[in-house]
Structure 1
């Protein structure tokens, strides 16, 4: 009983979805000792969603592979490639996989939606006690995910909120300069973990957003913010961190090998927004500034640099993407006597 209480306390202490999922799988492994346990989440665009699978225990004694929230968790596969899992996700019902008598899929949900599929494979069919344990774990997961989303997510867009930014930023900054071991994946897998990962912080600001509120009303302004959040989720890889920072300002924490990777990703967002037809509003644009994270960087320092680049993008006519670090090379620096901030203009 004391070990169970320890596990439940551990579950309640997690502050992001990845570590919560990992703790749930550890708890199930401890309580019922399955041959295999995994959690499958959907990632990617609404048009082409894919499964992202986090495995705790593998068949035939293969080792557990952990993952970090700020890194690629591994390859993804199309939803159609796991039809039983897709049925569980869409129906919200427990699914028994017919090829194995003790192979079950359980929906994991919040109060609003089904967010993942729990896969458990045992040598024998679950006993009544094991079934009760799995039911209780799922209910506890539902409660904790609801609290977690309420605490770290923006209520309107569903993106991460400002409170969760600092912690994720620090985790990313601590990885700078470290040679991170990369697990080996097959040659045909879509994405590979990065070595010596570099990070960029991008600030995305909607151009002329006040005009939208003034002409169409604040409800339509909220609709624009919601749609931009959806476009951002579809434009970036699942491991990138997306935030609504306040008002019409959004943040992106990107990982990559080269500055060109960051610029390409942010330019893709900019052009996607510019070509999107927003209901009633029509077309709109965003101005983007970004900067590379440096060892010892702080969230406020990186944000100030990216925000300076946004200011330059606005001055250049909006609907453009500006790299602060290139700006720093091309322009002389001057320090403001009043604020101590670096200024270029």
Structure 2
């Protein structure tokens, strides 16, 4: 009982989704006597669902965040998890399967209304007793309720993406971490080998092209649907360690963590082409323009945003449906370097 209470206190003390994930898998791993516990993200994309791990703890190891090295990786197709697939289809509270080597896997989707975009996966060598399932179910309920509380304060009500207030906090933390230790791991991650100088953090500003025309021609309900679908495409196109925000209207911002310029370009352009290829109901084709810049810990947030915004303006005024890198525009003589201005307002 003391261990359970300790874990409950730890879980409810966090105000951050990453640390909440680490806390819940640590609690479940110990209390269930599990071999491995994961937090899975259910990613809807390409007409199906994919399963992608975002946090993991294994027997004898520390809990950590989990990210795939390939930026184009969506996850494993849901068809590879037939018990979980049936559970999600039937809106059940749990699913269990036994592997050929006798391991028992329990899946517990986190239902928010009629959607489950997060799932706990617990693997242990023996079957789950009713008492164990009862305790784990209680932890999942606390986890779900706390996720709801965090989402209420951090999320945009229309798209479900992180909001502007949360962006300010996340960018400040990223700048602080970069300034104090360029190679510091994210919360819950193990020590990494030293990153090359080419690995940086990035900020991308996204704007929906001709969005006013969509609202004027089809109405605001279809305009809202476009924003929701673009938010879904952002969630599936960017990596689990990246952070995606809605600033309001048709403007979005992405924080890309620890990526080379080449990978950042690939990730951003993959999202742009995913939007271009998507068929939006009634509306048809929609495109986005993107401006992005490397984040420097020695620049103020307003200057970083301003430079990304300059690159976005260039993209929109030179044909739209493209992603422009601020430094490349400046070095190519296509854009004048922005003067520092700590008092400027953007968006």
Q: Which TM class, normalised by the smaller chain length?
A: 0.7 to 0.9
Secondary structure at 1:178's aligned position in 2? coil
CA distance in 2, matches of 1:36, 1:336: 49
Partner of 2:208: 206
- What's the offset of the Cα at 1:271? 3.4
CA distance in 1, matches of 2:41, 2:259: 26
Partner of 1:107: 108
Residues 233-256 of structure 1: CA deviation (Å, up to 9, x unaligned): 233333322111111101122245
Q: Are the structure 2 counterparts of residues 332 and 141 from structure 1 closer, same or farther at C-alpha, using a change threshold of 3 Å?
A: closer
Judge conservation of contact 2:43–2:117 (CA < 8 Å) in 1.
no
Partner of 1:55: 56
**Aligned pairs (5 A) from 1:1-345:** 1=1, 3-43=3-43, 45-47=45-47, 49-53=49-53, 54-58=55-59, 61=60, 63-67=61-65, 72=68, 76-91=75-90, 92-99=92-99, 103-112=104-113, 113-122=115-124, 124-173=126-175, 174-175=177-178, 178-179=182-183, 195-196=195-196, 197-255=199-257, 257-329=259-331, 330=333, 331-333=335-337, 335=339
Residues 207-239 of structure 1: CA deviation (Å, up to 9, x unaligned): 222222223222121112112212222333333
- What's the offset of the Cα at 1:146? 1.8
Judge conservation of contact 2:22–2:65 (CA < 8 Å) in 1.
no
Residues 173-216 of structure 1: CA deviation (Å, up to 9, x unaligned): 324773468999xxxxxxx9993431211111122222222232
Please give the root-mean-square deviation of Cα atoms over the aligned residues, in Å. 3.5
Q: May I ask how many residue pairs the two structures share in their alignment?
A: 329
Residues 118-146 of structure 1: CA deviation (Å, up to 9, x unaligned): 33344554444333212211221221122
Q: Are the structure 2 counterparts of residues 208 and 40 from structure 1 closer, same or farther at C-alpha, using a change threshold of 3 Å?
A: closer
- What's the offset of the Cα at 1:2? 5.2
Q: Are the structure 2 counterparts of residues 94 and 205 from structure 1 closer, same or farther at C-alpha, using a change threshold of 3 Å?
A: closer
CA distance in 2, matches of 1:170, 1:88: 40
Secondary structure at 1:243's aligned position in 2? strand
Judge conservation of contact 1:108–1:142 (CA < 8 Å) in 2.
no
CA distance in 1, matches of 2:311, 2:203: 11
- What's the offset of the Cα at 1:8? 1.6
**Structure 1 unmatched runs, 5+:** 185-191
Judge conservation of contact 2:289–2:321 (CA < 8 Å) in 1.
yes
- What's the offset of the Cα at 1:260? 2.9
CA distance in 2, matches of 1:271, 1:34: 41
Partner of 1:187: none
Name the TM-score, length of structure 1 as normaliser: 0.80
CA distance in 2, matches of 1:222, 1:48: 23
Query: Which structure has the bigger radius of gyration?
Result: 1
**Structure 2 unmatched runs, 5+:** none
Q: Are the structure 2 counterparts of residues 21 and 110 from structure 1 closer, same or farther at C-alpha, using a change threshold of 3 Å?
A: same
Q: Are the structure 2 counterparts of residues 105 and 3 from structure 1 closer, same or farther at C-alpha, using a change threshold of 3 Å?
A: closer
Q: Are the structure 2 counterparts of residues 142 and 278 from structure 1 closer, same or farther at C-alpha, using a change threshold of 3 Å?
A: same
Q: Are the structure 2 counterparts of residues 133 and 237 from structure 1 closer, same or farther at C-alpha, using a change threshold of 3 Å?
A: same
> Which range moves more in the overlay, 233-242 or 138-147?
233-242
> Which range moves more in the overlay, 159-168 or 85-94?
85-94
Secondary structure at 2:283's aligned position in 1? coil
Judge conservation of contact 2:303–2:340 (CA < 8 Å) in 1.
no
Name the TM-score, length of structure 2 as normaliser: 0.79
